[in-house]
A and B are shown apart, each in its own frame.
Chain A
């Protein structure tokens, strides 16, 4: 049984997919969750479906346009106490062969995967916002951060950067008892994957599925791992990337 001592977790990409599964799991286990996303109506709808919606709140935030989230975080602390965790699950698919890639394709992905969430972490770790007893940060990487795939140059390079970031950040934050890890999923059935699959043929989708010995994953599969990495039971795990890909990367 996972335990969460005085936990309050901020989750990005919380309206759907893996982000929402994390919210649902933590909320079910009694953790106060703050749903972060760019669409207020979607966030409210997601929150209304939780087991304990009274133990959750929302912050509307667009990683690609916003600069700072500090004011919103301070208001949340005043309402429901300090944060002890962050899950960065907001994501976007990018599939383009090298001939069509432009520098702004890299910039968009790097902003969403690295620089914007890093600014959120900086704001979050302020001593008036984050628990002084420590906590846990989990970044959503991808198995593509360690492997190559045609059409995925910008995506793989950005996800590889996630794995590098968590190592160094983990070292800087270890003294504060804040752990930093990433998870690296294979193909998980989410709205993002639907977008990816709309660009490819049925035959190729079957080929991709066959590359996952255990088949495609469900958002809950990844949420369970993230839940563990946020829990007290993972207190000695930091700076690592955790594959969860149905066996994709071992071939």
Chain B
């Protein structure tokens, strides 16, 4: 999965279409505000698809989706 597909899948999972565009600059706080299960959805999705363990506390360190991608490691995105 490349970075664009990753963003697209986040958009599908959290039903962001029409509400929020997902790209490098998308603010994490806007994504998390969409759904009370957004934290768990992102943590489970990243674990299942990329094998990376995110913690809820990590989100406070991210400003944008690109920050999350950097923490996971850009090398994990094909």
Interface size for A (C-beta < 8 A) is: 13
A-B contact pairs, 25 of them (CB 8 A): A95-B40, A95-B44, A96-B40, A96-B44, A97-B37, A97-B40, A97-B41, A97-B44, A100-B13, A100-B41, A100-B44, A100-B45, A150-B37, A151-B37, A151-B40, A198-B55, A198-B56, A198-B57, A199-B39, A199-B40, A199-B55, A199-B56, A200-B40, A201-B56, A201-B57
Shortest beta-carbon distance, B52 to chain A, in Å? 13
Q: Number of contacting residues on B, CB 8 A? A: 14
Asked if A49 CB lies within 8 Å of chain B CBs, one says no
Contacts of B59 in A (CB 8 A): 201
Which chain B residues numbered 27 to 63 have a C-beta less than 8 Å away from chain A?
36-37, 39-41, 43-45, 48, 55-57, 59
Binding site for B on A (CB under 8 A): 95-97, 99-100, 150-151, 197-201, 204
Closest residue on chain B to residue A197 by CB atoms: B56
Top 4 A-B pairs, shortest CB-CB distance: A96-B44, A198-B55, A100-B44, A97-B37
B41 and A200 within 8 A (CB): no
In angstroms, Cα B57 to Cα A197, docked, is 10
Of the candidates A96, A99, A100, A200, the one whose C-beta lies within 8 Å of that of B39 is A200
Nearest-CB residue, chain A, relative to B32: A201
B44: A residues at CB distance < 8 A:
95-97, 100, 199
Output the nearest chain A residue to B60 by Cβ-Cβ distance: A201
Residue in B37, B41, B48, B59 whose Cβ sees the most chain A Cβ within 10 Å: B37
Chain A residue contacts of B37, Cβ below 8 A: 97, 150-151
A contact residues around B45 at 8 Å (CB): 100
Residues on B with beta carbons closer than 8 Å to the beta carbon of A198? 55-57
- Using CB atoms, name the residue of chain B closest to A100: B44
Residues on B with beta carbons closer than 8 Å to the beta carbon of A97: 37, 40-41, 44
